[in-house]
């Protein structure tokens, strides 16, 4: 039986969606190809008709997946101010659901162990995010946007790392206060 080209494209997208969520939840090395394919409703052998390797899948996830979850659909960036962006990023729901959240917060500490191509894809999306954050500032400034995003990512990673929910909330609140002060140029 031959499938139309659209079927292969849809299957590839499904694998990318499953991989993006599972990588953010379990880490890049925390889930194997067989598990990903099973969760996508496919066989392990079918993986290689879409990707030459797991590393190629990781690269593709960063190249295509950072936009969707990071942060917002493209149209929402125009309507959002920096304060609401910071507030939304450092919310408890984002802490509790890394599989639905920002790949930088979920995987930033792991990406250095992967291929140059995967790191380059991550870096390209990081720069796009910095540019978008800069555009939310009253006076666009990419260096300040990098610092704000670094604060947000680090705050989220630390809030996820500690077992005490009250301390986790304090870390989110402290990150929010620092990011807002930086956004206002203080």
Predicted confidence (pLDDT) per residue in 110-167, tens digit: 889 988 988 998 999 899 999 999 999 999 999 999 999 999 999 999 999 999 999 9
Give me the pLDDT at residue 174, please. Answer: 98
Q: Is the pLDDT of residue 3 over 80?
A: no
Q: Please report the sign of the dihedral spanned by the C-alpha atoms of residue 26, residue 28, residue 30, residue 35.
A: positive
Outline where DSSP puts E strands in the chain.
Answer: none
pTM, rounded to two decimals: 0.81
**Rounded Cα gap, residues 143 and 121, in angstroms:** 20
Q: What is the CA radius of gyration of the chain?
A: 18
Position 77 confidence tier, pLDDT thresholds 50, 70, 90: low
**Rounded Cα gap, residues 111 and 26, in angstroms:** 13
User: What are the residue ranges spanned by the domains of the chain?
Assistant: 5-183
Give me the pLDDT at residue 108, please. Answer: 87
Q: Is 161 exposed, middle or buried (0-12, 13-18, 19+ CB in 10 A)?
A: exposed
**Rounded Cα gap, residues 29 and 86, in angstroms:** 29
Q: Please report the sign of the dihedral spanned by the C-alpha atoms of residue 22, residue 27, residue 30, residue 34.
A: positive
Give me the pLDDT at residue 44, please. Answer: 82
42-65 pLDDT, tens per residue?
888 888 888 999 999 988 888 876
Which one of 2.30.30.230, 1.10.357.10, 3.40.50.300, 3.10.20.10 gives the CATH number of domain 5-183?
1.10.357.10
**Rounded Cα gap, residues 94 and 101, in angstroms:** 6
Instruction: List own/partner pairs for 74-79 with CB under 8 A and 24 or more apart.
Output: 77/132, 77/135, 77/136
Average pLDDT in the chain: 87
């Amino acid at each position: 039986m031959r499938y139309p080209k659209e079927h292969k494209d849809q299957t590839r997208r499904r694998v990318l969606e499953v991989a993006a969520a599972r990588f953010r939840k379990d880490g890049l090395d925390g889930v194997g190809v067989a598990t990903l394919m099973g969760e996508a409703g496919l066989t392990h052998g079918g993986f290689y008709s879409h990707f030459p390797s797991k590393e190629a899948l990781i690269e593709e996830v960063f190249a295509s997946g950072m936009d969707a979850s990071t942060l917002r659909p493209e149209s929402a960036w125009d309507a959002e101010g920096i304060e609401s962006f910071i507030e939304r990023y450092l919310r408890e729901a984002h802490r509790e659901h890394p599989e639905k959240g920002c790949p930088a917060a979920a995987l930033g500490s792991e990406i250095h162990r992967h291929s140059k191509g995967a790191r380059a894809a991550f870096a390209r999306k990081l720069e796009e995010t910095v540019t978008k954050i800069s555009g939310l500032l009253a006076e666009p400034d990419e260096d300040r946007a990098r610092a704000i995003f670094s604060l947000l990512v680090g705050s989220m990673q630390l809030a996820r790392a500690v077992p005490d929910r009250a301390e986790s909330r304090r870390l989110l609140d402290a990150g929010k206060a620092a990011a807002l002060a930086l956004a206002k140029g203080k």
